[in-house]
Structure 1
Amino acid sequence: MDIMDIVEMVEVVGIALGVIGLILTIVICALPTWIVTTFIADNSANTEVILYGLWMSCVTQGTGQTQCEVYNSMLYWEYVLQPARAMIPTAMILGVLGVMFSMVGAKCTNCIKEKTSQAKLIIIAGILFILAGILIIIPVSLLARSIISDSSMRIKGKPELGASLYFGWVAAALLLIGGVLLCITVGVFGWTMGIFGWISSLVSCCISILYYPAPPYWGMWKVLMTITSISSTLGALGVMGSIFGTRCCNCIKSNRIRVKARFVVGIFFILAGILQFTTEIVVVHYLITDVQRQIDNFAKFIVFKLVILAEVCSWSACMLLIGGTILCCSIFKRNQPDSTTFSQPPANNSVFNRS
């Protein structure tokens, strides 16, 4: 099988996974099965099962009768579902755009003949799929954590994870895998991982700057601010280099200079990832060794922010290190001829021109 056939096959699989993920996203946006709360009564006829969705809630009586209505009052779960109301429709829009770009830029459709334009559209489609997957997995995971945590037990009844949450995880996984496959087919997976890792590093930098603690924790917090700021700066340099170093942009004509640019950008991403990993180590060390946080109420309030910072730094470090390593390893590929030089045609040899 030719390498081009394999690339087209992987591309088709990525588009198919993105389409299926988009369909599941539409399903979970419409169905009111995000949260299932059961009220058990002495009489089975009085038992109620309440289903909460993004836009409406349904009540199923023990007799089998079901009645649905749009939210008309600010209930507890309505506040919890508010982030999903913004993120899920946005993910749907990104998914639709990703499917459109992937269909137009796919090699099998031949809507565009120019390979450079095809690669650009596939890159955009892959990034849109990845963004849609991230926008789905965040509200679904946060809601599942809220249901499982002790704070949700204050609500009368027993809340459980609904089917839409499981479908949401599947949809996010399909969109992420589809987006990654599309980025792999055009050889920009390393760039994509580095860019998303840099975006995550910006989130950790914002967390360390905006949430400024009390004086006893200034020293530790200043260290975190410095590390995350330097990491974000290195990631920004890598992103700037990635804009000019990709083959589809054609900003650099020479293959040799392009390979060197990949290596330098990979180094920037790796250094940024190491700093993000250092931030996580500092936070984890503080959470393990600091005894005052167990008796100080304010320290307990700081712990929640530190846990979020550690989670964001771990994701950012993984993506930056993976992306930087892939870009640095590209220098070990077999050398290609420089596109800025033109080879002379071989001289005619009379030995091979005999009649």
Structure 2
Amino acid sequence: MLSAAVQILAFALALLGVLGTTVATLLPNWKVSVNTWSHFMTPISQMQGLWMDCVWYSSGVFSCTMKNSMLSLPAYLQTMRAAMVLSCMVALFGLCLASLGLKCTRWGGSHRAKGHTAIAAGGCFVLASFLCLVPASWFTNEVITVFLTTDLPESSKYQPGGALCVTFISAGFLLAGGVIFCLSCPGKRSGRPDYPPSSDHPDRFVVQRDVQRRREPQMDNAYSSPSKLPPKDIKDSYSLQEYV
């Protein structure tokens, strides 16, 4: 099983991945159009995200519009929304399992149970990473394809925004933390019993077993020696004399 320091490092990476995925899901700059105009109230930057569209004007005004209608959105955008939300939920569940599987904590059962819990948490992080990578890659492909194939002017085209960079980095953190937690194999079961870490003195049971094993040969020798044999029954000796 991995050391406690390595598990804490994996937990920190997974926590950064969960925070990054949540922030990237809410950010409006999944694709950005940068326009330079000479007028005062002309927009200089237009951003589109999963939940809102925002406009940055040259006067410093920042305005956003929520995408409330689900039916008006394209199918790929609805799929990306669902995938990102599901990724955040799976990653949060993985954090709960990881807190139980850490060796430095007192809850979670025995060391073997902690190992299985850590492996389950790693699987959740890996699944959340793929659920985060798929919509980010799909969205990037859509933006680049439209940018290269359409004949629109440069001022009306969009390019990948900063939210996609945050999404890819967060997916990398989740994948790294998940792989590390998946390596937390409990290993083979040894001769020593597997006691939970919350017990106060787990070694006293081993000491009592050793003392009991030392006493068993002495008792066997006591019964096997002729001097320690139990006396015969007196009634048996009398009955033998009467017969003779």
Normalised TM-score (structure 2): 0.69
Deviates more, 1:6-15 or 1:49-58: 6-15
Deviations 1:92-119 (A, max 9, x none): 0001000000001211112124122111
The residue number in structure 2 matching 1:22 is 18
The residue number in structure 2 matching 1:58 is 54
The residue number in structure 2 matching 1:177 is 176
Partners of 1:84 and 1:181 lie apart in 2 by: 27
Preserved CA contact (<8 Å) 1:35 1:161: yes
CA positional deviation for 1:80:
4.1
CA positional deviation for 1:75:
10
CA positional deviation for 1:32:
0.9
CA positional deviation for 1:88:
0.6
CA positional deviation for 1:161:
1.1
Larger Rg: 2
Preserved CA contact (<8 Å) 1:146 1:152: no
The residue number in structure 2 matching 1:159 is 158
Preserved CA contact (<8 Å) 1:101 1:125: yes
Q: CA RMSD in A?
A: 3.0
- Counterpart of 2:15 in structure 1: which amino acid? V
Partners of 1:130 and 1:41 lie apart in 2 by: 45
Summarize the Cα distance change of 1:60–1:73 in structure 2 as closer, same or farther, 3 Å threshold. Answer: farther
Preserved CA contact (<8 Å) 1:39 1:158: no
Summarize the Cα distance change of 1:73–1:115 in structure 2 as closer, same or farther, 3 Å threshold. Answer: closer
The residue number in structure 2 matching 1:81 is 77
Deviations 1:43-82 (A, max 9, x none): 3641341111111111111211111111256899855422
Summarize the Cα distance change of 1:24–1:56 in structure 2 as closer, same or farther, 3 Å threshold. Answer: same
Partners of 2:147 and 2:65 lie apart in 1 by: 26
- Counterpart of 2:171 in structure 1: which amino acid? A
SS in structure 1 of the partner of residue 106 of structure 2: coil
Preserved CA contact (<8 Å) 2:119 2:184: no
Summarize the Cα distance change of 1:75–1:53 in structure 2 as closer, same or farther, 3 Å threshold. Answer: farther
The residue number in structure 2 matching 1:271 is none
Preserved CA contact (<8 Å) 2:119 2:183: no
Q: Does 1:36 align with 2:49?
A: no
Partners of 1:181 and 1:14 lie apart in 2 by: 6
CA positional deviation for 1:7:
1.8
Normalised TM-score (structure 1): 0.48
* 1:94 aligned residue (73, 87, 90): 90
**Structure 1 residues not aligned, in runs of 5+:** 188-246, 251-344, 349-355
* 1:70 aligned residue (66, 70, 77): 66
SS in structure 1 of the partner of residue 56 of structure 2: strand
- Counterpart of 2:27 in structure 1: which amino acid? L
Number of residue pairs matched?
190
Percent identity over paired residues = 28
- Counterpart of 2:14 in structure 1: which amino acid? G
